[in-house]
Each structure stands twice: as C-alpha cells, then as structure tokens.
Amino acid sequence: MRKLLVLTILLLQACSVISPLNIGPNSILEPTQTSGFTVTPSPTETAAPTATEMPPTPEPSSTPTTVPTVQAEEGFQVRLHPDGGLFVGDRISFEVIAPPGEDMEGKQAQIQLESSEGLKFEPVDFEPFGIAGRIQATFVWVWDTAGFDPGKYEVTVSILPEGETWAETVTLIPQSELPEDEQGAKWESIQTECCVLNYVTNSDAARDIEDLADTADEQAELVTERLGVDFTEPVTVTLIPRSIGHGGFAGEEIYITYSDENYVGSRFDLVLHHEMVHIIDGRLEGESRPSVFVEGLAVYLTGGHFKSEELLPRAAALLELSTDGEDWYVPLRDLANDFYPQQHEIGYLQGAALVEYMVNRWSWDQFNSFYRSIPDFENSDRVAEIDSALQDHYGISFDEFEAGFMEELRAQEMTPEIRSDLEYTVSFYDTVRRYQMLLDPSAYFTTAWLMDGPSMRERGIVADFVRSPTAPLNTEITSQLIEAYDHLEAGDYEEVDLLLDQINARLDELEGK
C-alpha cells in the first residue's frame, strides 16, 4: 500500500469546534480559495501576475502521526472568492496572503479597482487567519459586482506603508452563464422539533430536506438521552452544498456538507450527531475539558467517526501496525498535550477508544464525573490535569492509566479486516487533504473558507457555499475519491489502493515530483 506523506499543522482539525465571527464590513471567518494569483511584486514596478504555482514538495514521512500543511510560495499571494468562476452579481472577497515568516506587524493591504467607478477598498490589517493562523489581509464581500459589465478588470494591490504594489486581472463572467443549479438559488429553512435547518434551493439538501429533518430530530433525541440534557433552544444547522474540511464544524451553529458530490465521504447522521454532542458538552460543567476527551466523547457517543465502527478493536490495530516500524499508536502524553497536530483519524480513534475503555471499566457515570472535574491548571499541561483527576477518582497515575489502556488494547480481537480498513481509511483521508491542499484550498480545513451563516442568509449570498473548483482535473480527482470511498465501505481494498495511487500520481505531477 502506498505510504502517504504527512506533515505538521498547528491547531484544530475538522469535525471540530469553531467560533465563527460575525461578518462586518471587512471581517471574516476562516478562508482560502482556488481562483487566485501568486506574485513576487517589485517595490518599484507593477509586477505582472503569474499563474498560481503548486506548493513545494514536502519531505516524505513514513509515520502517519501528522497531516499535511500548506507551504506557501515565496512572495505575496492573492486569492479571490467565491470559487468556480466570478460572475456579474457576485460579492467578491480577496485574501492577500503574506509570505511565510514575513514580519507584517503594523502593515496593511490596500486594494483598488481600476474602472470608471474607481473603487478603493478600506485598508485591512494583516492578521492571523483560520485554524492555522496564516498571516493575511482579508477583504470580505467588498466588491459588489451588481451593475458591472462582464469582462476583464485590473485590480491594484498595495502593501502599506511604503510596500510593494502590483496589478492583478479579474474576469467577470456574464450572469446569464451561471451554473443552472445556482440560477435563482436562495436560502430557505425548515423548523423541526430540535432544529432549524438552513439550506440552499436547487441543492441536494433541498431535494432531501424532509428526510434530513426527520434525521435531525432522531439524532437530537439520541444525543439528549445519552447526555441527559435537552437543547434549551433550537439548534441551527446550515447545510453546505460543497465539501469543506472533513464535512462538519460546530460553533454557535452547526455546518455540515450535504451533496451527492461529497468526496469526503462523511455521513450526515453521524456528523450531525458528533457536532450536537459538542454543543451540549460545551454547555455542561467542566473546567479543563482536554481535547482528547472532547473529541473522544463525540466519536464514542456517535459510535464512530466517519462511519459506525468498533472502537477498541480498531485502536488495537494501531499497536499491531506500530510493530511494522511505523509509529501508528500515539503515546497518551502526546495525545493529551498536543491532540490536534496528530494524524486526524488516529487521534480521534484513540480518543474515542480511551473513552470506551473508561466507560467499560468504571461505568458511564464515573467517567462523566471524572471528565467534568478535570482541573484547569492554566498552564496548558493537560497531562498534569488529567493525572490529578485520575488520582482523585481512581487512585491511579497517568502512566498507570495508559498501561491499563494498552493492556486492554492487546486483549482485543483484531482481525485482518479491521487492520486493512484502518490502514486504507487513514490513506484515503490523507489523500483527501492532499487534494484539498493543492487543488481545492478553500476546503482545506486549516484555512477553510467557512463564511458566517447568519451573515450569508441576511445578505442572500449563496455562492461562497455553492461553488467549488470545476476544472477537469478537479472533476476527475473528486470522482475518483468518491469511487474510492465506495470501495472502502465495501471492503474492496485493492480497488481503493489502485485509485489512491492514481490520484497521488496526478498530485505528484503537480508538485513536480
């Protein structure tokens, strides 16, 4: 089986808790995109825009302990939103991304549209953006193109004070050429016993909305029964007609991908259950709430991460795989103190198996009491916090706790089928993230273009969630990913291996390997 490269990222993973910002005149949530430019501007001349280049080839790694991160090219990058072409009538956003390591303290970006209108947008500070904290100036929905003619427009970008200045060319496509499913598309909602489901007309969610409403009520009932707490007000769920991240995010409201073309393979019922657990869990008592238990609890109560799965036997496969010279099992100290930088599927699986182990050994009530009483030492030492709670509740140390957990894993019946499924699941999602990083960066979870749902609905904007890259290579690879996931579910691992090799060969070509 192909060994995929895995590199380091900094913070949260998808299926994660987020705090979307309300969109002001030039504020944003968490972005990135595909129709863009990469330039190395000259301080004295207007630099011509260059085609977007692929990130440099990362060094390969034999261990699946981390996930890829974007390594930006030299020079500033300018990315535009929405994806999939810019049409007359769009509200266009810009990202001006600083070169990695560049000191942008006190600096701003200025954008001016060279047209009869002579639009000049207010300067924007360079600030950390998205989960990864990428340094950029983000202009959200600043250019309302309603009333503009189709054609090419020159945009001048300046770094203030006294920085580089260069030009970009933006092409507006006639509104009459909008994709059919976007013509007349708007936001609508449906109220259920538990939730308010927001969806875009002409979408797959609109077609299935009655079934999705029933599923939402079913999942809410399961979550509230298990946690013993009802939602105090309806849960707001925004259904996104394109793949973003791993398919689910939770903040003040829940965002879930729902599309027949969802190449991530996430199931609506499981993702919704997972995110509902996050919402209720966050409202219950608890001081520290280490991420290993936050995410582990959500996966455990859902009965799996991306699909229903046996947690302890699956986690046991990590130990067997680690004996082959690869560090699949993540030591609990690393998982507790640095949960999110770990390989996504492995970290979430180990966290869930850990919760299941504790519930089996000490009961749900005792686990819940332990979890809610983990102290917050305010020094980010999660191991010390967990150790203190373990001593108080069970009279054991952190090391004794891990020894018991590993003993339980070694006692599991771990079949070749479970091992193969775990290997190819990790391989599949590493490939998904690699594809997003290179060819669908708006969907890449560390800098996902996840706009604020209430602001989008208030302004009647759907394009940022409806459009996605439609180049032939995007269509080819996403079709292969969908096919690979179908084979993964069916246990046809040879077909999965073949398809993932084909996809990664194309991505290798893009990186110049």
Task: Spell out the SS3 assignment of 124-153.
Answer: EECEEECCCCEEEEEEEEEEECCCCCCEEE
Assigned domain for 337 exists: yes
Assigned domain for 83 exists: yes
Assigned domain for 489 exists: no
Which of the listed residues 381, 416, 433 is the one where a domain comes to its end?
433
Residues 6+ away with beta carbon under 8 Å from 376: 287, 288, 385
Both structure tokens of 314: 């699956």
The pLDDT value given to residue 251: 85
Assigned domain for 507 exists: no
Q: Is 453 exposed, middle or buried (0-12, 13-18, 19+ CB in 10 A)?
A: buried
CA distance 166 to 42: 7
Both structure tokens of 202: 């002409």
Specify whether 458 is located in the same domain as 427.
no
Nearest to 484 by CA among 25, 1, 117: 1
Specify whether 121 is located in the same domain as 258.
yes
Which of the listed residues 411, 433, 455 is the one where a domain comes to its end?
433
Specify whether 189 is located in the same domain as 90.
yes
Specify whether 380 is located in the same domain as 341.
yes
Assigned domain for 146 exists: yes
Element (H, E) at 497: helix 493-511
Domain span including residue 406? 285-433
Specify whether 429 is located in the same domain as 446.
no
Specify whether 296 is located in the same domain as 204.
no
Specify whether 339 is located in the same domain as 199.
no
The pLDDT value given to residue 74: 61
Assigned domain for 45 exists: yes
Specify whether 238 is located in the same domain as 306.
no
Nearest to 301 by CA among 289, 311, 291: 311
Specify whether 18 is located in the same domain as 133.
yes
Number of domains the chain contains: 2
Assigned domain for 122 exists: yes
The pLDDT value given to residue 132: 87
Start-to-end CA distance of the chain, whole Å, equals: 19
Specify whether 444 is located in the same domain as 394.
no
Specify whether 193 is located in the same domain as 218.
yes
Alpha-carbon dihedral angle through residues 159, 165, 169, 170, given to the nearest 10 degrees: 20
Specify whether 253 is located in the same domain as 312.
no
Assigned domain for 260 exists: yes
DSSP 214-229: HHHHHHHHHHHHHHT-
Per-residue pLDDT tens digits of the chain, which is 513 residues long: 433 322 222 223 345 444 443 333 333 222 223 333 333 333 323 222 222 332 332 332 333 333 222 333 469 999 999 999 999 999 999 999 999 999 999 999 999 998 666 789 999 999 999 888 999 999 999 999 999 999 999 999 999 998 999 999 999 999 999 999 899 999 999 999 999 999 999 999 999 999 999 999 999 999 999 999 888 889 999 999 999 999 999 888 999 999 999 999 999 999 999 999 999 998 888 889 999 999 999 999 999 999 999 999 999 999 999 876 678 999 999 999 999 989 999 999 999 999 999 999 999 999 999 999 999 998 879 999 999 999 999 999 999 999 999 999 999 998 999 999 999 999 999 999 999 999 999 999 989 999 999 999 999 999 999 999 999 999 999 999 999 999 999 999 999 999 999 999 999 999 986
Which of the listed residues 380, 410, 433 is the one where a domain comes to its end?
433
pLDDT tens readout for residues 180-206: 989 999 999 999 999 999 999 999 999
Phi and psi at 262, nearest 5°, equal: -75, 100
